[in-house]
Amino acid sequence: MSDVLIAATYEFGEGDNESYLIGPAFDLKIPGFDYFQLNFYQRQTEGNRPGDGVWQITPVWSYTIPVGKSDVLIDGFMDWVVDNDKTSRGTYHSNLHFNPQIKYDLGKALNYPERQLYVGIEYDYWTNKYGIKDSGSFDTDQNTASLLVKVFF
């Protein structure tokens, strides 16, 4: 372990869709990883919305693999809300959001500065998106792959 932190996040949307997340975080030294962080959040919602007081675990990572004269970067995060919560306004269901990216450092391969031009893919999986339970008549699971180009200035 290389550091202990306090992590905080503010989530917002239309209407009263606001959540405050706060909790301990740990930077871990795992051989081969550029970084690996493990965050534990307790979710606090505005008003009487469901999802108040539930816990979320969020690992974040980055791993670089040398390939030829460049690198492949594998990074991403996972948000796992581990509890359900029920109020008079409904139920917030446990959910899992997994979002890794695999990127090739094209800039470095073309003899430009490294870490400025990446091409790759992103996979986005979210079960019970926004804490809404998936059902046969209402699909709330997200499953998407995307091509990406990232340019850093």
| Mean pLDDT in residue range 7-30 | 91
pLDDT of residue 9: 95
CA distance 54 to 145: 29
Strand ranges inside 46-141, DSSP E: 55-67, 70-81, 85-87, 90-92, 95-105, 117-127
Q: Per-residue pLDDT for 16 more than 90?
A: no
**Sheet of 117-127, strand order:** 3-12, 18-28, 33-45, 55-67, 70-81, 95-105, 117-127, 142-151
Question: What's phi and psi for 2, nearest 5 deg?
Answer: -105, -15
For the chain, domain boundaries: 3-151
| 2-6, 103-107, 134-138: the lowest-pLDDT one | 134-138
pLDDT, tens digit (0-9, with 9 covering 90-100), for 73-119: 999 999 999 988 888 788 889 999 999 999 999 999 999 999 999 99
CA distances from 4 to 33, 36, 40, 56, 78 (A): 18, 12, 12, 17, 19
CA distance 97 to 80: 6
pLDDT, tens digit (0-9, with 9 covering 90-100), for 34-73: 999 999 999 998 877 888 899 999 999 999 999 999 999 9
Instruction: Copy the structure tokens of residue 24.
Output: 């301990």
pLDDT of residue 83: 87
